[in-house]
């Protein structure tokens, strides 16, 4: 018995923030952004759109693709670092909007690795309990926590959501293995300092811009290119497979240079790497399910393809999943 991806979906807001737009907002240029990130544009939500709104659209698309009704869902997991509010969970708001009345619902925050963590949690629930269908969503509105006076971060991040519906079945397809890890020593490299119990919101935290994302970009780059091969090795070992067996590499869309470096280290041809960071930017927990769902919508995947999914991000967190495509 294995957990299978029955359906995929994604949603991005209509608003587009191009590099030329950013040139008017901060000291940067199209060439500077492209050479360092590979990003040409990113999607930005309007002020009325929250994470649950994008999650809902992606979830509806995934449910339709899976031919599953919301009332059939047993659980909803939303991976996000930009929830609608500190409480209740965004997953509960999504459950209500979907009318998925019998589904348990909770959020999970592992930053950019969030979808991989949520996928692994969902797999274990499916295989060790009576749960039949689980909705996993990665959704972010990062434009709310980006400092648009900091050219090193504001050029990177965008808004969007991706979703998968999981079920279970016999056979050798589906989720073959997962691997999760963390390195809390690097907690300070990527953070939003204020808004929690350490530094609750105050006039001082707002004045000091402590509610915006802070990132040591060069250190995050070094971390990513180091741990991606490690994650690949661990998850492949658990499945008894080799890197040569992989048909598609599905990385967190953090930075094009990271993706290119990782593909070379893993010796995976560029045509076998799923990439959409150029038009959407870094969507944290939403990036992996979004690039996966977009590939499905473009009919790039075929039954039997082996997908290597790898995430990495704040925490520091990292993880991987190996999926034999079953559709």
Q: Looking at the annotation, which residues are catalytic?
A: 112, 252, 282
Residue with token string 């959409």: 276
Are 309 and 136 spatial neighbours (Cβ–Cβ below 8 Å)? no
Of 80, 119, 125, whose CA–CA distance to 104 is shortest?
A: 125
Angle between helices 51-66 and 90-98 (to 10 degrees): 50
Of 281, 284, 288, whose CA–CA distance to 321 is shortest?
A: 288
Query: What is the Cα–Cα distance from 253 to 151, expressed in whole angstroms?
Result: 19
Q: List beta partners, residue 135.
A: 76, 165
Residue with token string 């269908």: 133
Residue 81 DSSP label = S
Cα 141 to chain centroid distance, Å, stands at: 12
Are 44 and 282 spatial neighbours (Cβ–Cβ below 8 Å)? no
């Amino acid at each position: 018995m294995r957990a299978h991806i029955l359906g995929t979906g994604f949603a991005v807001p209509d608003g587009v923030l191009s590099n030329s737009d950013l040139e008017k907002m901060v000291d940067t240029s199209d060439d500077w952004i492209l050479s360092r990130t590979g990003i040409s544009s990113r999607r930005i939500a309007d002020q009325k759109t929250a994470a649950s709104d994008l999650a809902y659209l992606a979830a509806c698309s995934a449910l339709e693709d899976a031919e599953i009704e919301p009332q059939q869902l047993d659980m909803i997991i939303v991976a996000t670092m930009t929830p609608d509010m500190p409480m209740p969970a965004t997953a509960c708001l999504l459950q209500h909007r979907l009318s998925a009345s019998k589904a348990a619902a909770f959020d999970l925050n592992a930053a950019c690795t969030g979808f991989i963590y949520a996928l692994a949690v969902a797999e274990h629930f499916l295989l060790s309990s009576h749960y039949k269908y689980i909705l996993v969503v990665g959704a972010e509105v990062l434009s709310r926590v980006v400092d648009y006076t900091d050219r090193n971060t504001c050029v990177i991040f965008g808004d969007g959501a991706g979703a998968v519906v999981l079920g279970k079945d016999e056979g050798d397809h589906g989720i073959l293995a997962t691997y999760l890890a963390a390195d809390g020593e690097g907690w300070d490299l990527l953070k939003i300092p204020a808004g929690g119990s350490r530094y609750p919101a105050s006039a001082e935290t707002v004045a000091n811009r402590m509610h915006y994302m802070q990132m040591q970009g060069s250190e995050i780059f070094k971390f990513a290119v180091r741990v991606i091969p490690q994650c690949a090795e661990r998850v492949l070992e658990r499945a008894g497979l080799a890197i040569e067996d992989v048909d598609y590499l599905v990385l967190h869309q953090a930075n094009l240079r990271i993706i290119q470096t990782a593909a070379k280290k893993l010796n995976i041809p560029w045509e076998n790497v799923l990439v959409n960071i150029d038009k959407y930017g870094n969507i944290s927990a939403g990036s992996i399910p979004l690039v996966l769902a977009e590939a499905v919508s473009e009919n790039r995947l075929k039954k039997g393809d082996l997908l290597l999914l790898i995430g990495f991000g704040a925490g520091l967190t990292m993880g991987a999943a190996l999926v034999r495509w079953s559709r």
